[in-house]
Amino acid sequence: MRFLIPHRCWGIALSTRVARAASCMSALLALGFASLASAANAVRISQVYGGGSGTSAPYNADFVELYNSGASSVSIAGWTITYTSTTGDFGGNQFTFPAGASIPASSYLCVQMQATGTVGAAVPFDFIAATAINLSATGGNVALLTAAQTGSNNTCASLAATLVDKVAYGSGNCPEGTAASAPASTTAIIRKGNGAT
């Protein structure tokens, strides 16, 4: 675990410079995820927080943060964040970005995944999932896809055709490499290099 001058999660499409000055969370778990981003697609999952409104939680809702490390804006209209438990199926819990959604170059975007609770500060989000998706604080699988999945019984292997990036944590069974260690309600999974690696 390391302590950072945190990452992002404030305002819409803040630049990296401004983002690093914004306060997001007091403690974060540092983790390097294997990157699927290519020159044509530099967007990846930079942070996952599933402890919203838990005991001593700094935020009152779960969130997923994305980062565009590229030199140009990327349209994410129609892209989807999907979540499942450690051994569950994909497709039943997903949020699809609306028309016009994009991430400017070298910028972050924060999606609030669940309804707000009573413990912790409000999540400074860019988008909020219309249907609440409650992320586990200690284990699960999160994937970013270029299109929504149909059905709710999709396996990890089914992600391949539209997969942009994915993260497994705790005992999550759909990792890239090794799943991240389980965080707590006061910490988040965060990609190394402020989302750039």
Express the helix, strand and coil content of the chain in percent, nearest 5 each: 10, 30, 60
Give the closest residue to 13 by CA, choosing from 63, 53, 89, 66.
66
Q: Which residues contact 66 (CB under 8 A, 6 or more apart)?
A: 43, 44, 45, 46, 76, 103, 108, 109, 110, 111, 144
DSSP secondary-structure letter at 21?
A: H
Three-class DSSP category at 29: strand
pTM beyond 0.75: yes
* 176 phi/psi in degrees, rounded to 5: -100, 105
Counting Cα atoms < 13 Å in the Cβ hemisphere of 101 gives: 20
Q: Which residues contact 5 (CB under 8 A, 6 or more apart)?
A: 20, 21
pLDDT in single tens digits along all 197 residues of the chain: 222 223 455 433 333 322 332 333 333 343 444 433 453 379 999 999 999 988 889 999 999 999 999 999 999 999 999 999 999 999 999 999 999 999 999 999 999 999 888 999 998 899 999 899 999 999 999 999 999 999 999 999 999 999 999 999 999 999 999 999 999 878 999 988 888 77
